Amino acid sequence: MPFFIYMKNKNFQPIQEIGFSSLIDKISEYDGKENKDIINGIGDDASVLSIDATRALCTTTEIFLEGVHFDLTYHPLHHLGYKIVTAAVSDIYAMNCVPDQILTSIAIPNKYSVQMIEQLYQGVDAACKDYNCQLTGGDTTASHQILAVSVTATGIAQKDKIIYRNTAAIDDAICVTGDLGGALAGLRILMREKEHWKNSDNQQFQPDLQEYEYVVKRQLLPSARLDFVKDISQSEIVPTAMLDLTQGLLADCKQLAVKSGNGAELFTPAVPISLDTRKVADEMKEDVDKYAFYGGEDFEMLFTLNKDHVEKFAEVFDDFVVIGRMTQDKNKFIINTGEGESIEIDL
């Protein structure tokens, strides 16, 4: 058995050359033994496994690394604990299912104390309570340099209530809950203040983040839309397709269109952006639309409705707006800026 010296690989194709989306397509080919009970495998917010004639299990998992997905210079550990649970339950909500249990795997470097790990789990605990689920297990291990956490969530739903991302029909209205771009605006502020702190002579320097409270909270302590899923359960009208907004509006809309086999058109002026987010973009001299388009982690819901049912749906749940429509031109994603301009992106 030869040593495997990976840096000498001759045909090195960087992942950025094909992108994560194509990489996932490739990975999907290595999916082991087909199981007749798997209703939905790789490619949605969660997997769906039939457990009896009427019910199915939804399962999701996510991973978070220090220095990549979070920065502990400004991310309090209990907020981080809350956020990782939010990310996992949001995936289950995006299937129109509610989670029962959370499992976490954690790899901990020496620089973390017992108390710090307890703080992280206080956040996990608080989130599990808010989202009505129990922490039931996981893996606890050592790490050399960085903290790494993965989180798994499972929930059980009626099969006919599960909402997938690949079922949006032509002419359906594309909708989003809440407002977008806030998480990225918060990140921009935190990164700016971190720079100030690093360059400050005064090591006790503490930025005043009060005026940015909304966006900072969107970044550090986001909420998953349990209220939306609860309201759907009371509604005659339900979304025709759904996913949660974690990659950014454009990437997630592309997913919706490609998976559903249709095209999509977005009306930029309709995209909901809070005044707080706009203020940050102004301060940073940046285009606020880009925060909404490319910023991820807002944990809002992106969903479609039959266009004739939008008003009726709004009687049950009203924290959403229509931002576009599904089209029949399945190779095109059109961004209509509302100023007579429109940008076409090939899907």
Q: Which of residues 209-268 bind a copy of itself (CB under 8 A)?
A: 209, 213, 216, 220
Nearer to a copy of itself, 12 or 346 (CB): 12
What the block records as the tokens of 254 is 């592309």
222 and 69 Cβ atoms separated by less than 8 Å: no
Binding region for a copy of itself (CB under 8 A) out of 72-80, 248-256, 269-277, 321-329: 72-80
- Give the number of residues in contact with a copy of itself, rule: CB under 8 A: 113
| Cα 138 → chain centroid | 22
Residue 337 interacting with a copy of itself (CB under 8 A): no
Least gap, CB of 13 to a copy of itself (angstroms): 4
- Footprint (CB under 8 A) of a copy of itself, residues 301-330: none
333 and 342 Cβ atoms separated by less than 8 Å: no
209 and 189 Cβ atoms separated by less than 8 Å: yes
Nearer to a copy of itself, 302 or 321 (CB): 302
Residue 53 interacting with a copy of itself (CB under 8 A): no
Residue 179 interacting with a copy of itself (CB under 8 A): no
Contact letters for a copy of itself, residues 130-169 (x by CB under 8 A): -xxxxxxxxxxxxxxxx-xxx-x-x-x-------------
Nearer to a copy of itself, 69 or 259 (CB): 69
| Cβ-Cβ contacts under 8 Å for 305 (sequence gap 6 or more) | 172, 173, 175, 237, 239, 240, 313, 322
User: Which one of residues 70, 84, 86, 122 is an interface residue with a copy of itself (CB under 8 A)?
Assistant: 122
In whole angstroms, what is the distance from residue 299 CA to residue 243 CA?
A: 10
Nearer to a copy of itself, 111 or 312 (CB): 111
In whole angstroms, what is the distance from residue 176 CA to residue 72 CA?
A: 30
Least gap, CB of 48 to a copy of itself (angstroms): 8
What the block records as the tokens of 151 is 């989180």
| Cα 32 → chain centroid | 27
- Within 10 angstroms of residue 84's Cβ, the number of other Cβ atoms is 25
User: Which one of residues 98, 111, 174, 259 is an interface residue with a copy of itself (CB under 8 A)?
Assistant: 111
Residue 75 interacting with a copy of itself (CB under 8 A): yes
In DSSP terms, 21 is beta-bridged to none
- Footprint (CB under 8 A) of a copy of itself, residues 10-39: 11-18, 20, 23-24, 26-27, 30-35, 37-38
Residue 191 interacting with a copy of itself (CB under 8 A): no
| Cβ-Cβ contacts under 8 Å for 28 (sequence gap 6 or more) | 41, 42, 43
Secondary element (H or E) of residue 15: helix 15-28
- Within 10 angstroms of residue 343's Cβ, the number of other Cβ atoms is 11
Least gap, CB of 94 to a copy of itself (angstroms): 12
Residue 117 interacting with a copy of itself (CB under 8 A): yes
- Integer CA distances (angstroms), 96 to 200, 210, 213, 245, in order: 47, 35, 30, 14
Least gap, CB of 50 to a copy of itself (angstroms): 10
